Amino acid sequence: MLQAFRGAQVFDGHSLRAGVVVVQDGVVLDIVETVPFGATEIPLSGGILAPGLIDLQVNGGGGQMVDGTTTAADLAAICATHARLGSTGIMPTLITDTDAATDQVIAAGIKAKGTPGFLGLHLEGPHLDPRRKGAHDAALIRPMQAADVDKLCRATQALPALMVTLAPASATPDQISALAKAGVIVSLGHSECTLAEARQAIEAGALCATHLFNAMSQIGHREPGLVGAVLTSHLACGLIADGIHVHPQAMQLALAAKPDGVFLVSDCMAVAGTDLVEFTLAGRKILRRDGRLTLADGTLAGADLTLPRAMAILAGEVGVPLPRVLAMATRIPADLIGRPDLGRIQPGGAATFVHLADDLSLRAVWTAGQKLA
């Protein structure tokens, strides 16, 4: 079937432009000026037609967490929940847990390969720094061992992609190098490391930093810490732009320091896509109040956020230009995981789109040319 999406600005992954997106049988043919003869028109009535959004840190959704009971069917359900929220490609994320839980999630991810929206796994821990544990269970945080390296190197060969968040205090440069050479996307986070320690990890092959500013050593004028290392290096970094995890002016500083490479993450939990007001995480109650998810003691435990909401905050409250905001939720994260086929509207690419209103709220989602209910 020949379709023509018309009436909205088009974000192609790099810039906003006028045009009609022509699709045949779920694949983009081109962006043209007028509707081709015989095409079925999809009227959009303003707003922006953008590539499907990419979220590399998704702890759960639809009432489910990624945990030691997760199956391939559960991953598919979480992907489907987030597709309806605009994130048509996600990395389900397991936070610090037992070895058995990690094995279960890796096995589920391997079985889920090919599931719509499943881009691979993100293992956030357990090889972190307990001094920056955040909401992670300190009793389960531990140093990386040779068996862990072997497991992760095998897993990355069987998964679409694998991101691992670790702290230099719990992984040696040689271990980081082995992971990077095997294709693991090593991300630094939950760390109290010094600038020198961070740079050593970067030289070993780390490519990314997890939720910039949160759960990491901050900038000091004599010791710049992990934040300083991120802002003065080639590292990509995720950003939770809910206006709670990071102050808008801190976001401005980071974006000024890094013209490219900053991408948006939701860091969302089981409540995403639901009206739940609380849930359980590793036996601890998580409360949903006033846009926050917290432990009983007030510690932030993930975010109550979607990527369209994060984009609206960046554009409206931080003043980031629209093309950059859109790239932070599409092309930049897609490129980090080696998927140039995603995060763009381009000839030959899948017709997986989001239609956003002028205020960046979500109007509609299409996957392979089919509108989601």
Q: Which CATH architecture has domain 53-336?
A: Alpha-Beta Barrel (3.20)
pTM recorded for the entire structure: 0.97
Q: Residue-wise pLDDT tens for the chain (373 aa)?
A: 899 999 999 999 999 999 999 999 999 999 999 999 999 999 999 999 999 999 999 999 999 999 999 999 999 999 999 999 999 999 999 999 999 999 999 999 999 999 999 999 999 999 999 999 999 999 999 999 999 999 999 999 999 999 999 999 999 999 999 999 999 999 999 999 999 999 999 999 999 999 999 999 999 999 999 999 999 999 999 999 999 999 999 999 999 999 999 999 999 999 999 999 999 887 889 999 989 999 988 898 989 999 999 999 999 999 999 999 999 999 999 999 999 999 999 999 999 999 999 999 999 999 999 999 7
The closest alpha carbon to 254, from 314, 193, 167, belongs to 314
- Active site amino acids: 267
Domain locations along the chain: 2-50+345-371, 53-336
Task: Look at domain 2-50+345-371 and name its CATH class.
Answer: mainly beta
CA distance between the termini of the chain:
19
